[in-house]
């Protein structure tokens, strides 16, 4: 049956079909081998809306703003998170990123205040101090570093200090490794045709279970430390622990707390680390942009650490970050599954169909962007207005838009400003850095940089 408001089948448009091979296996194979190329090739060959079989799923790839508007915003309640996110469930449990329905709504309401403006203001000092400490350490060591490892480390430390008032620095190496293993697992498990139960001791499962022991131990330590202190505290953890169910007055149990904390710490530090890493990668190749950024920081701060009020003044830094997220969106793809049949801009979307957006290809679509592959922060400065609705979605769209988007922007501006003030980095020549589109878009194998003496 057609949804209300659609008079008859004659008003529907037909959608191009791409071949999926036997049982949709060919598409699974190509999507796994090079997922970004998979989206790009389908857009180039079939246009901005195309359907195909991806393993057992009917799958629609869309680069069309009107379809995005319908699925992610206007009729969002008819869509749930994609079954292809199942790889995240053993890691994140029923945390905010993948929970659904009334439970998600309640958790989002509870969590939202931790990201209000007044809270963000209070976080800036910790963000700036952590960034300054990193710069001091790197200047003292000098030599070669992997910028991506350093960005993961500093954003983890910031997440620890701001969200749960805990110093995660000492575990940074183990946690960093565990996050990498967990993310790789989620990726492989999500697209696997058959999911091997976790108790079977395959090498992948064993690696994953070890990684989860490390991550769970980190979360347990945070929760236990807070329970022992007998004070809730006013951070995110305190808020979650102090929250009471509207109906039965019950507190969140340890499992729910664990899932929410794991989600916020992982979603919160890995994405921002990727944004900062790709920013360093681009700045090192565009010295004029880097010089202008340094000038802006110098003029605004004259050597002191940034405050919350400075963030809005550093508009060129913000444009650099926006442009980096256009070219290298940390959340490079996301999906929904239709609960009931729907019609989006005249296209029928059958119940059970998965609708996927690839922000990497959307953000480089020549229909929306001039010179789409060129790094031009100016396009995000006030007045430039190149961006059109739903052609730029680094933080998603609709009710499930990233809860941490302002946190991420403030953090990235602050860390970048402090780095531009205090570090002189250059790329180690001759390296090739590839895209690693896992759950987030990582640089592979990392970004090797030299810490030069400061002039
Ligand atoms: C540059 C950094 C970040 C990027 C690019 C990013 C991107 C995204 C995107 C695209 C979504 C929507 C996914 C979907 O629709 O399926 C999302 C959701 C989410 N993000 Fe972020 N994010 C970033 C930073 C953060 C931070 C700092 C936090 C928390 C501290 C965070 C926590 C979350 C959570 C909890 C959700 C799920 C929200 C919900 O469904 O209600 N993210 N993020």
Give the model confidence (pLDDT) of 201-215 as tens digits.
Answer: 888 889 989 989 999
Q: What is the mean pLDDT of residues 447-453?
A: 96
Alpha-carbon distance values, 23 to 37, 187, 196, 285 (Å):
21, 21, 20, 44
Of 15-24, 116-125, 409-418, 442-451, minimum mean pLDDT range? 15-24
The answer on pLDDT for 191 being more than 80 is no
Contact call for residues 355 and 48 (beta carbons, < 8 A):
no
How many domains would you assign to the chain?
Answer: 1
pLDDT digits (tens, 9 = 90+) for 46-102: 999 999 999 889 999 999 999 999 999 999 999 999 888 878 888 899 999 999 999
Q: Output 454 or 304, whichever has higher pLDDT.
A: 304
The pLDDT-based confidence of 6 (bands split at 50, 70, 90) is: low
Its domain, for residue 44, covers 9-451
1 inside domain: no
SS3 of the chain: CCCCCCCCHHHCECCCECCCCHHHHHHHHHHHHCHHHHHHHHHHHHCCEEEEEECCEEEEEECCHHHHHHHHHHCHHHEEECHHHHHHHHHHCCCCCCCCHHHHHHHHHHHHHHHCHHHHHHHHHHHHHHHHHHHHHHHHHCEEEEHHHHHHHHHHHHHHHHHCCCCCHHHHHHHHHHHHHHHHHHHHHHHCCCCCCCCCCCHHHHHHHHHHHHHHHHHHHHHHHHHHHCCCCCCHHHHHHHCECCCCCCECCHHHHHHHHHHHHHHHHHHHHHHHHHHHHHHHHCHHHHHHHHHHHHHHHCCCCCCHHHHCCCHHHHHHHHHHHHHCCCCCEEEEEECCCEEECCEEECCCCEEEEEHHHHCCCCCCCCCCCCCCHHHHCCCCCCCCCCCCCCCCCHHHCCCCHHHHHHHHHHHHHHHHHHCCEEECCCCCCEEEECCCEEEECCCEEEECCCC
Q: Whose CA is nearest to atom 17 of ligand 1?
A: 402
313 inside domain: yes
The chain-wide mean pLDDT, for the chain, equals 91
Which atom of ligand 1 is the closest one to the Cα of 334? 16
CATH number of the CATH domain containing 319: 1.10.630.10
Alpha-carbon distance of 289 to 209, in angstroms, equals 44
Q: Whose CA is nearest to atom 37 of ligand 1?
A: 97
The answer on pLDDT for 386 being more than 80 is no
Q: What is the mean pLDDT of residues 330-341?
A: 96
Q: What is the mean pLDDT of residues 167-178?
A: 80
85 inside domain: yes
pLDDT digits (tens, 9 = 90+) for 219-267: 998 998 888 887 888 788 988 888 887 777 777 888 899 999 999 998 8
Q: What's the confidence (pLDDT) of residue 180? A: 83
209 inside domain: yes
The tokens of 316 are what?
């060129």
65 inside domain: yes
Q: What's the confidence (pLDDT) of residue 437? A: 92
pLDDT digits (tens, 9 = 90+) for 19-50: 877 777 878 888 888 999 999 999 999 999 99
Residues 6+ apart with CB under 8 A from 131: 154, 158, 414, 415, 418, 419
Contact call for residues 254 and 222 (beta carbons, < 8 A):
no
pLDDT digits (tens, 9 = 90+) for 96-141: 999 999 999 999 998 888 899 998 999 999 999 999 999 999 999 9
388 inside domain: yes
> Where do we find the tokens 């071949």?
19
Which atom of ligand 1 is the closest one to the Cα of 265? 30
Residue from 322, 398, 404 whose mutation best tests the ligand 1 pocket (most atoms within 8 A of CB): 404
3 inside domain: no
Residue from 402, 403, 439, 442 whose mutation best tests the ligand 1 pocket (most atoms within 8 A of CB): 402
Q: What's the half-sphere exposure (Cβ side, CA atoms, 13 Å) at 327?
A: 23
- Residues lining ligand 1, CB < 6 A? 96-97, 108, 263-264, 267-268, 271-272, 275, 330-331, 334, 394-396, 400, 402-404, 407-408
145 inside domain: yes
Which atom of ligand 1 is the closest one to the Cα of 275? 1
């Amino acid at each position: 049956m057609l949804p209300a408001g659609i008079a008859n089948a004659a008003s529907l448009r037909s959608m191009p079909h791409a071949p999926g091979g036997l049982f949709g296996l060919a598409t699974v194979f190509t999507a796994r081998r090079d997922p970004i190329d998979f989206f790009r090739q389908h857009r180039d060959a079939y246009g901005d809306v195309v359907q195909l079989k991806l393993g057992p799923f009917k799958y629609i790839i869309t680069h069309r703003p009107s379809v995005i508007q319908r699925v992610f915003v206007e009729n969002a309640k008819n869509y749930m998170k994609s079954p292809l996110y199942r790889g995240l469930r053993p890691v994140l449990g029923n945390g905010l990123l993948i929970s659904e329905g009334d439970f998600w709504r309640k958790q989002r309401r509870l969590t939202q205040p931790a990201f209000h403006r007044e809270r963000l203001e209070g976080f800036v000092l910790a963000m700036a101090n952590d960034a300054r400490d990193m710069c001091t350490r790197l200047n003292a060591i000098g030599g070669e570093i992997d910028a991506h490892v350093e960005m993961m480390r500093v954003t983890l430390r910031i997440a620890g200090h701001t969200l749960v008032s805990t110093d995660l620095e000492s575990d940074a190496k183990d946690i960093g490794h565990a996050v990498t293993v967990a993310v790789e697992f989620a990726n492989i498990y999500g697209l696997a045709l058959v999911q091997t139960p976790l108790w079977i001791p395959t090498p992948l499962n064993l690696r994953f279970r070890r990684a989860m022991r490390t991550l769970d131990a980190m979360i347990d330590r945070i929760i236990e430390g807070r329970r022992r202190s007998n004070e809730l505290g006013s951070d995110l953890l305190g808020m979650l622990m102090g929250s009471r169910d509207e109906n039965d007055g019950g507190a969140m149990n340890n499992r729910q707390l664990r899932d929410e904390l794991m989600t916020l710490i992982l979603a919160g530090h890995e994405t921002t680390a990727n944004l900062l890493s790709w920013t360093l990668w681009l700045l090192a190749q565009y010295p004029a942009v880097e010089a202008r950024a340094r000038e802006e920081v110098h003029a605004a701060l004259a050597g002191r650490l940034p405050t919350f009020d400075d963030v809005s003044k550093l508009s060129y830094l913000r444009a650099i970050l926006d442009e980096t997220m256009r070219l290298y969106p940390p959340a490079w793809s996301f999906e929904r599954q239709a609960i009931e049949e729907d019609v989006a801009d005249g296209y029928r979307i059958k119940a059970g169909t998965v609708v996927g957006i690839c922000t990497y290809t959307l953000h480089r679509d020549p229909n929306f962007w001039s010179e789409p592959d060129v790094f031009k922060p100016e396009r995000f400065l006030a007045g430039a207005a190149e961006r059109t609705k739903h052609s730029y979605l680094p933080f998603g769209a609709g009710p499930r838009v990233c809860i941490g988007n302002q946190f991420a922007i403030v953090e990235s501006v602050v860390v970048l400003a402090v780095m531009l003030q205090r570090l002189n980095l250059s790329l180690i020549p001759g390296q090739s850095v590839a895209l690693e589109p896992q759950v987030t878009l990582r640089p592979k194998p990392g970004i090797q940089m030299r810490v030069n003496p400061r002039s």
